[in-house]
């Protein structure tokens, strides 16, 4: 079910946004055309791994398919599937082991939600290619195309959209959170374009929780709108993360309402996609936030 109806219907290109600037041109992801600026889109997370930080790993295909179906029925626009944890101090897995975890889950989810775009959350080009061949519609790389030298070329050759994230882990803080993120994202964009990925196939993620402390994470959210000058759709993934736990003092599964606050404030800053675990609750947050910020009513 689609919850939102922009009023009035906006032009696809050149739409002026309520927080300033023009919306990026629409993007085709799988069978869905995303018209940026019309509303906020919801990405539901499925972790095909036993060591997810959020405690919601579903390594069995039937469970993942049921979760994906429930997410779409609750209003998710995209399903994001990953099979390697990216939590701090995670234990890396090799490409074959990652694909063993991912393949059956991806196939089951693809059959369960045939018309819904699926992104594959991986840093490995070989896994990304296998996933695309098995039905994934886009790649979500938390290294911003900087972890595997073959990833940018793989995305370009497959002609699929890519989420480029800035990852601060292992990097020295330059003193300004947004400038560090902007510079990191520009490196990712340059790698993509040099490999032949069109700019209009790129989505940007500032990397909330990836190498930042609580102060920097919340400063990022406060200034998120400054990244719109890069001219690409913005995705944010705050869901259940430790920066929220730092404030509310709750374990990951109990950070729903803290997550809700970050989702609403990110929408106020102009984010285009929110990546969340608790889809049903966050769809309500998105609907009300879009009604206020964008004037989008059902």
The DSSP secondary structure of 85-139, one letter per residue, reads: --STT-----HHHHHHHHHHHHHHHHHHTTTS-EEEE-S-HHHHHHHHHTT--EE
Please tell me the least confidently modeled range out of 168-172, 229-233, 239-243.
168-172
- When comparing pLDDT for 52 and 172, which is higher? 172
Under the banding of pLDDT at 50, 70 and 90, the label for residue 200 is very high
Under the banding of pLDDT at 50, 70 and 90, the label for residue 90 is low
Name residue, tokens 């041109």. Answer: 25
Phi, psi of 273 (to 5 degrees): -135, 135
Question: Would you say domain 56-86+96-290 falls under CATH 3.20.20.20?
Answer: yes
Q: Over the stretch 147-163, which tens digit does the pLDDT of each residue have?
A: 999 999 999 999 999 99
Please identify every residue annotated as catalytic.
241, 275
What does the mean pLDDT of the chain come to? 91
pLDDT at residue 282, rounded to an integer: 98
């Amino acid at each position: 079910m689609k919850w939102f109806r922009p009023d009035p219907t906006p032009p696809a290109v050149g739409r002026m946004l309520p927080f300033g600037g023009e919306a990026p041109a629409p993007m085709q992801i799988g069978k869905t055309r995303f018209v940026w600026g019309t509303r906020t889109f919801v990405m539901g997370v499925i972790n095909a791994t036993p060591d997810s930080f959020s405690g919601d790993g579903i390594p069995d295909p039937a469970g993942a398919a049921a979760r994906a179906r429930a997410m779409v029925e609750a209003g998710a626009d995209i399903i994001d599937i990953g099979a390697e944890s990216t939590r701090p101090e995670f234990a890396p897995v090799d490409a074959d082991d990652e694909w063993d975890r991912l393949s059956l889950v991806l196939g089951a989810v693809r059959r369960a939600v045939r018309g819904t775009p699926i992104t594959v959350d991986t840093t490995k080009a070989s896994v990304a290619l296998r996933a695309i061949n098995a039905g994934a519609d886009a790649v979500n790389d938390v290294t911003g195309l900087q972890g595997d030298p073959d990833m940018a070329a793989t995305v370009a050759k497959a002609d699929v959209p890519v989420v480029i994230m800035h990852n601060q882990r292992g990097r020295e803080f330059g003193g300004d959170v947004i400038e560090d993120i902007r510079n990191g994202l520009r490196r990712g964009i340059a790698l993509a374009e040099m490999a032949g990925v069109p700019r209009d196939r790129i989505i940007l993620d500032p990397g909330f929780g990836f190498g930042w402390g609580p102060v920097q994470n919340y400063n990022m959210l406060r200034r998120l709108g400054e990244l719109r000058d890069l001219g690409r759709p913005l995705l944010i993934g705050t869901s259940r993360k430790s920066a929220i736990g730092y404030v509310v003092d709750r374990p990951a599964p109990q950070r729903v309402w803290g997550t809700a606050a970050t989702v609403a404030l990110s929408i106020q800053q102009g984010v285009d996609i929110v990546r969340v675990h608790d889809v049903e609750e966050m769809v309500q947050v998105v609907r009300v936030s879009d009604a206020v910020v964008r004037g989008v009513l059902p």
